[in-house]
Amino acid sequence: MRDVLKELERRRDEARAGGGAARIDAQHKRGKLTARERIDIFLDENSFEEFDMYVEHRSTDFGMEKSKVPGDGVVTGWGTVNGRTVFVFAKDFTVFGGSLSEAHAEKVVKIQEMALRNRAPIIGIYDAGGARIQEGVAALGGYAEIFQRNVLASGVIPQISVIMGPCAGGDVYSPAMTDFIFMVRDTSYMFVTGPDVVKTVTNETVTSEELGGAKVHTTKSSIADGAYDNDVETLLQMRRLIDLLPSSNTAEIPEIECFQTVSEHDLSLDRLVPDNANKPYDIKELILKTIDEGDFFEIQESFARNIVTGFGRVEGRTVGFVANQPMVLAGVLDSDASRKAARFVRFCDCFNIPIVTFVDVPGFLPGTAQEYGGLIKHGAKLLFAYAEATVPKVTVITRKAYGGAYDVMASKHLRGDVNYAWPSAQIAVMGAKGAVEIIYRKDIGDAEKIAAHTKAYEDRFLSPFVAAERGFIDEVIMPHSTRRRIARALRMLRNKDLTNPWKKHDNIPL
Amino acid sequence: MFKKILIANRGEIACRVIKTARKMGIATVAVYSDADRDAMHVEMADEAVHIGPAPAAQSYLLADKIIEACKATGAEAVHPGYGFLSERASFCESLEKQGIIFIGPKPKAIEAMGDKIESKKFANAAKVNTVPGYLGVIEDADHAEKIADEIGYPVMIKASAGGGGKGMRIAWDKSEVRDGFDRARSEAKNSFGDDRVFIEKFVVEPRHIEIQVLADGHGNAVYLGERECSIQRRNQKVVEEAPSPFLDEATRRAMGEQAVALAKAVDYQSAGTVEFIVDKNKNFYFLEMNTRLQVEHPVTELITGVDLVEQMIRIAAGEKLSFGQKDVKLNGWAVESRLYAEDPYRNFLPSIGRLTRYQPPAEGPIGDAVIRNDTGVTEGSEISMFYDPMVAKLCTWAPTRLEAIDAMSDALDSFVVDGIEHNIPFLSALMQHPRWREGRLSTGFIAEEFPDGFAPIKPDESQKGVLAAIATAVELLRRDRLDRLAGRLAPHSGAIKPDWVVKIDDDYVEVSLRDGMVSIPFEADLSINGGKVVTVASDWRPGEPVWHGTVGRQSVTAQLRPDPKGLRIDWKGMSVTTKTMLPRTAELEKLMPIKLPPDTSKMLLCPMPGLVVSISAKEGQEVKAGETLAVVEAMKMENVLRAERDLTIAKINCKPGDSLAVDAVIMEFA
């Protein structure tokens, strides 16, 4: 009996050694951790149970039969993050460069299916060289099997991808179909085709970092939702994100004890909106002062910064925040901002996370660049997302809510549950200057008349009360009471029950 | 007594004056510029009058606007505060003509003392000790050089109409006179509209000690002891105290009597301050008389119990001083720290922005000490580029000097300011400085003790232990709360992990939970680096910015700012980022590469938000170390940016008149 136990220990040790000490050292020298080390940090201590650690590939081409390593380049299993179940797979760069074989894919698929069946989040950690060329179509088939599971799980359980090394070719599409992608600065990159192929095909010379580094994907392409300085920081942040997310689309929102009262007035908010309507202010201050303890997990912080999206808690329960950012492009809605916010709203709606929207939007961004780029379609995405969302929706208009952008930003008409406005709100078709020049075109030459018309327009429309008179605004609130109002509204909406008509799925303008 | 007065000022001093007026039952009128529409002084006053656009020259400095405001509101008198119109004789005269009383000295006294040359003549006549110098008008740089040679170096070149540190230059030898003269003159012209300068001997190792006087219109005058203001940075006072740790009773009396003699000589009728420099042998020389309420007046109020603003108002209303010299008793010790909106880590460059958090310590008695905070801002206020960057004057009083300093240290530790850069870390560091605590001061203190500017104090081993203990206590509470997170797989075992590693900047401290409850209030025994066990106790709750508690026998007030990189802890001038990790995580964290910030050595970055005044170099030009590259103006101060080494200009990214953000690249070097 003791011998078989020893054999198990031996085989476990062999599997856990991955690609061996030399490769592990090399991984460390690159500033990266190994798959198992990453899992150690991400999961609760001693909570990881590994599956399929003895799996080996079955390839016999190109001499592959001579080279087998248990685990086959991916570590899979489950564990807990602060006591809540999470499934994990982590590519092991020290074994065949983490490349994907048929057997490797089967391991991932198994975990994906377990996660879906057991309704718990799944995290994929990427650090791999793509398909194992030696396996040919078997590897490609493996990818597609993974993609299919990603799609089936989408909207049922949270799927998060963390890119901690190379991620290229077929490997990129599974992360692309998950809910969030995070990257590590300087040590990770993602692209469909690498610099060598780019050089051959287009004659462009580009480095991996320039082509698909964390900076590119967090600021330009919007592929990644965030980036951190190193592996440890990234994984600890992923724990923080998991703490905020429900385990599935039928699970309760995680709740923690809240130590911060909601009843205290924050008088500094009464001074947040400057007198001058053209002066910006930082909407993040309002978010930080609305949520518990100012603890905000921002999504896509560096992309389309004219809109802010992210998670916080109110009275200990997760809330998704969407807010126009007057500091950047005056908070205007453009294609990028619309797409960014739309995707975030849909994520929240999938997982029953209430949405709080702060509105200060001068409208949609005009210009050929935007129109040629399909602003109509991209703007429609956000409109669509808000309109179809059935989760609790609380909206606060802090200043401008002009034109179509007013409609889009979780207005009453899109089934906003509770719509507040600050006294500084201006809900109108457009700003005074533009409006007066249209209404009183004949007086344009007469500065005095125009000034009088402008004043009249401002007095009549640049306030929350015209909208409030129609019931489009439920209540005009003091800025200093915003946290209390939102907390109360969310409490009231906790049992909200709203369903859309049955359909196979909608046809959002992609 | 007046029924209504107008305060021709803004910020903390306007609020200060309003407080006393209110106490005396006098109605108040505030004036405000566009930038101050929502300012605290406007809210505090019974009435407020708008007087123009944000720049002071178009609002607070316009005598006519103030007079109009008086007429419109029926204010009988004007308190000018300090700065702005407070020492402008012509303003008093205009007020007099309109039958409005100026709460301050008569125009003649202001005129006599406002001009540094005139004031010295008066001082000589009143037998007040003066510094050797040239009192005539200096014609040009050649003349300046000749005079400086006669007096002997070092010499100080100063604006005749000046105040504070503006328009002042020191020349250590002949070669510096010409440049100093030109600069002093141009600054004098820009700041005061008067380009006259004078030259005098520069006293080495001087202390700045000033005497507060009060004189009424009936020939009575008293001195209220002294204030020492030797802690200055570039001639701007930073920390003041009363009394001075340096003076003996005889010197105090001699200085006080000379100050009173001078006040009488100019028929002074108000509160005023006679500034002296005192050398290491307690020789004192008259510097100037400030014919207004001083910024640092609260320390005198704290040790004498006299409300100087009240006295000014009473004197202006024609009342007699109600007490004599023998009634003036100095009681205990008071210290004042000036909180400035400036970045101590970037050579104290001005910082502007919104005070997203502003939570001063509670005023009033605390133990044997008293805390007073004179401020003109509130949470959410805007620190604008238009005015003085002083945010608040934090004062502490205690029976003895060291107690007052320790009370200041604690008060600073609990003073929460976010949204702008500020000098609290520097002030905290000062309070720990042995030379300050011993009272061995000179006006060169900051330049000598912080020659390379200011960097956060590095914690020593025992301080690291305290910081690690706080970080662990915070982390344990966080973990404990997450152990009660909804949706856990199984009820949690209640077994909080006992062993932690706290990374403090680049060091690692091992902390173990030995005994105690992880709950609120927190009380547990922690062992630090396997050694001494300390009890950590605090009623801190997650989300609160100030952690107050005890670590071992030490009482600690620290500020916590969580961010994704870890928990920042500020305490006693230290500012560290801590990361509290499980041992396994810490072990792996040590493998992480150190990331260096981007190389900016080949760029000239704009050190603060400001306006480009001039660019002195051209693209392709070779520049020697020390040569001027550009001048940027912010908060009315011109900042000369010089080449740190010999270099060649590759590219210039802006032009004069451009408004730049902090860290904007002004030019790139080859």
pLDDT value, residue A247 = 97
| Cβ within 8 Å, pair A185-B595 | yes
- How close, in Å, is residue A274 to chain B by CA atoms? 10
Do both B63 and B81 map to the same domain? yes
pLDDT at A141 over 60: yes
The answer to whether residue A445 is catalytic is: no
Could you tell me what percentage of chain B is helix, strand and coil, using 3-state DSSP and rounding each to the nearest 5? 30, 35, 40
Amino acid occupying residue B425: P
> Using 50, 70 and 90 to split pLDDT, how confident is the model at B598?
low
Please identify which residue in the block is written with the tokens 């007073």: B372
- Helix A447-461, helix A432-439: angle, nearest 10: 120
Using a CB-CB distance cutoff of 8 angstroms, which residues of chain A are in contact with residue B543?
Answer: 259-260, 292-294
> Could you list the residue range(s) of the whole structural domain that residue B186 is in?
132-201
Do both B342 and B432 map to the same domain? yes
Do both B218 and B166 map to the same domain? no
Do both B556 and B643 map to the same domain? no
Phi, psi for residue B411 in degrees, rounded to 5: -60, -40
pLDDT at B145 over 80: yes
Residues A384 and A99: their CA atoms lie apart, in Å, by 39
pLDDT at A411 over 90: yes
In a domain, B594, yes or no: no
| Cβ within 8 Å, pair B592-A237 | no
Question: Tokens at residue B568, please?
Answer: 């920042």
| Mean pLDDT of the region A77-83 | 95
Residues B278 and B250: their CA atoms lie apart, in Å, by 14
Are the C-beta atoms of B76 and B2 separated by less than 8 Å? yes
Residues A317 and B303: their CA atoms lie apart, in Å, by 52
- Give me the residues paired with residue A401 across strands: A361, A427
pLDDT at B408 over 60: yes
- Picking from B545, B554, B301, the residue whose alpha carbon sits closest to that of residue B424 is B545
| Cβ within 8 Å, pair A271-B38 | yes
Query: Length of chain B in residues, anyone?
Result: 670
Residues B176 and B475: their CA atoms lie apart, in Å, by 57
Q: What is the CATH number of the domain that holds B628?
A: 2.40.50.100
Q: How many helices (H) and strands (E) does chain B have?
A: 17, 40
| Cβ within 8 Å, pair A268-B358 | yes
pLDDT at B163 over 80: no
> Using 50, 70 and 90 to split pLDDT, how confident is the model at B493?
low
Q: What is the CATH number of the domain that holds B387?
A: 3.30.470.20
Closest-CA residue of B relative to A25 is B591
Lowest mean pLDDT among B131-135, B170-174, B255-259: B131-135
* Pairing between β-strand A122-126 and β-strand A74-81 as defined by DSSP bridges: unpaired
For the beta sheet containing A74-81, the strands, ordered from the edge strand earlier in sequence to the opposite edge, are A49-51, A74-81, A84-91, A122-126, A159-163, A180-184, A226-228
pLDDT value, residue A1 = 67
CA atoms within 13 A on the CB side of B191: 27
Do both B97 and B146 map to the same domain? no
| Number of CB atoms found within 10 A of residue A189's CB | 25
Chain centroid offset of residue A448 CA: 50
Residues B578 and B10: their CA atoms lie apart, in Å, by 40
* 3-state SS track over B301-341: HHHHCCCHHHHHHHHHCCCCCCCCHHHCCCCCEEEEEEEEC
In a domain, B125, yes or no: no
- How close, in Å, is residue A381 to chain B by CA atoms? 31
pLDDT at B490 over 80: no
Question: Tokens at residue B224, please?
Answer: 């209220």
What value does the mean pLDDT of chain A take? 94
Residues B87 and B70: their CA atoms lie apart, in Å, by 19
Using a CB-CB distance cutoff of 8 angstroms, which residues of chain B are in contact with residue A37?
Answer: 588
> Using 50, 70 and 90 to split pLDDT, how confident is the model at B189?
confident
Q: Per-residue pLDDT tens for A153-174?
A: 999 999 999 999 999 988 999 9
B-facing residues of A in 215-244 (CB < 8 A) are: 228-233, 236-237, 243
Exposure b/e, A245-268, CB count within 10 A at least 16 = b: bbbbeebebbebebbbebeeebeb
Residues B336 and B370: their CA atoms lie apart, in Å, by 12
Do both B437 and B467 map to the same domain? no
Last residue of a domain, one of B270, B300, B331: B331
Please identify which residue in the block is written with the tokens 């995405």: A381
pLDDT value, residue B439 = 95
Which position has the higher pLDDT, A196 or B134? Answer: A196
pLDDT at B276 over 60: yes
Residue in A31, A254, A293 nearest the CB of B485: A254
Q: Per-residue pLDDT tens for B50-66?
A: 999 999 999 999 999 99
Question: What percent of chain A stands above pLDDT 70?
Answer: 100
Using a CB-CB distance cutoff of 8 angstroms, which residues of chain A are in contact with residue B37?
Answer: 275
- How close, in Å, is residue A230 to chain B by CA atoms? 7
In a domain, B115, yes or no: no
Could you tell me the domains of chain A?
Answer: 1-244 (3.90.226.10), 267-425+470-493 (3.90.226.10), 431-462 (no CATH)
Maximum C-alpha span of chain A: 102
- Picking from B259, B264, B269, B282, the residue whose alpha carbon sits closest to that of residue B211 is B259
- Of the listed A90, A405, A435, A489, which one is catalytic? A405
pLDDT at B536 over 80: yes
In a domain, B596, yes or no: no
For the beta sheet containing B665-669, the strands, ordered from the edge strand earlier in sequence to the opposite edge, are B603-605, B665-669, B647-652, B622-623
Using a CB-CB distance cutoff of 8 angstroms, which residues of chain B are in contact with residue A274?
Answer: 382
| Number of CB atoms found within 10 A of residue A343's CB | 20
Do both B509 and B533 map to the same domain? yes
Q: CB contacts < 8 Å between A and B, how many? A: 114
- Of the listed A373, A404, A434, A452, which one is catalytic? A404
- The residues of B assigned a catalytic role are 288
pLDDT value, residue A26 = 94
Phi, psi for residue B185 in degrees, rounded to 5: -65, -45
| Cβ within 8 Å, pair A256-B591 | no
Chain centroid offset of residue B543 CA: 29
In a domain, B124, yes or no: no
pLDDT value, residue B662 = 75
pLDDT at B626 over 60: yes
What value does the mean pLDDT of chain B take? 91
Do both B521 and B568 map to the same domain? yes
In a domain, B126, yes or no: no
Exposure b/e, B390-403, CB count within 10 A at least 16 = b: bbbbbbbbbeebeb
Do both B166 and B243 map to the same domain? no
Provide the domain count of chain B: 6
Q: With 0-12 CB in 10 A as exposed, 13-18 as middle and 19+ as buried, what is B470? A: buried
- How close, in Å, is residue A268 to chain B by CA atoms? 4
pLDDT value, residue B79 = 97
Question: Tokens at residue B240, please?
Answer: 């003041």
Distance between first and last Cα of chain A: 61
- What would the DSSP string read from start to end of B160-173? TT--TTTTEEEESS
pLDDT value, residue B463 = 95
Residues B460 and B663: their CA atoms lie apart, in Å, by 32
Are the C-beta atoms of B224 and B259 separated by less than 8 Å? no
Q: Per-residue pLDDT tens for B575-597?
A: 999 999 999 999 999 999 988 77
| Mean pLDDT of the region A424-446 | 87
**B contact test, residue of A25, A34, A41 with most B CBs within 10 A:** A41
Last residue of a domain, one of B404, B427, B451: B451
Q: Per-residue pLDDT tens for A488-506?
A: 999 999 999 999 999 999 9
In a domain, B221, yes or no: yes
pLDDT value, residue B166 = 67
pLDDT at A63 over 90: no
* Pairing between β-strand B574-581 and β-strand A393-402 as defined by DSSP bridges: unpaired
pLDDT at B165 over 70: no
* 3-state SS track over B70-122: HHHHCCCEEECCCCCCCCCHHHHHHHHHCCCEECCCCHHHHHHHHCHHHHHHH
pLDDT at B500 over 60: yes
Element spanning A314, H or E? strand A307-314
- Give me the residues paired with residue A180 across strands: A160
Question: Tokens at residue A426, please?
Answer: 């201006």
Q: What is the CATH number of the domain that holds B55?
A: 3.40.50.20
Lowest mean pLDDT among A95-99, A133-137, B320-324, B398-402: A133-137
Residue in B356, B487, B543 nearest the CB of A260: B543
| Mean pLDDT of the region B613-640 | 79
> Using 50, 70 and 90 to split pLDDT, how confident is the model at B14?
very high
Element spanning B434, H or E? helix B434-438
Do both B638 and B656 map to the same domain? yes
Q: Per-residue pLDDT tens for A243-300?
A: 999 999 999 999 999 999 999 999 999 999 988 877 889 999 999 999 999 999 999 9
Do both B355 and B281 map to the same domain? no
- Give me the residues paired with residue A395 across strands: A357, A419
Could you tell me what percentage of chain A is helix, strand and coil, using 3-state DSSP and rounding each to the nearest 5? 45, 20, 35
B-facing residues of A in 153-212 (CB < 8 A) are: 185-186
pLDDT at A218 over 80: yes
| Number of CB atoms found within 10 A of residue B598's CB | 7
Residues B408 and B467: their CA atoms lie apart, in Å, by 20
Query: Length of chain A in residues, anyone?
Result: 510
Distance between first and last Cα of chain B: 69
Question: Tokens at residue A355, please?
Answer: 């949405």
Using a CB-CB distance cutoff of 8 angstroms, which residues of chain B are in contact with residue A275?
Answer: 37-38
Last residue of a domain, one of B162, B180, B201: B201
pLDDT at A346 over 70: yes
Say what the alpha-carbon torsion angle A395, A399, A403, A405 is, to the nearest 10 degrees. Answer: -50
Instruction: Please give the C-alpha separations between residue A156 and each of A51, A112, A115, A117, in angstroms, as whole numbers.
Output: 23, 12, 10, 10
pLDDT value, residue A278 = 78
Question: Tokens at residue B383, please?
Answer: 């620190």
Residue in B354, B489, B589 nearest the CB of A83: B489
Q: Per-residue pLDDT tens for B87-104?
A: 999 999 999 999 999 999
In a domain, B326, yes or no: yes
| Number of CB atoms found within 10 A of residue B189's CB | 16
pLDDT at A443 over 80: yes
Do both B515 and B574 map to the same domain? yes
What's the DSSP call for residue A502?
Answer: P
pLDDT value, residue B636 = 57
Are the C-beta atoms of A406 and A427 separated by less than 8 Å? yes
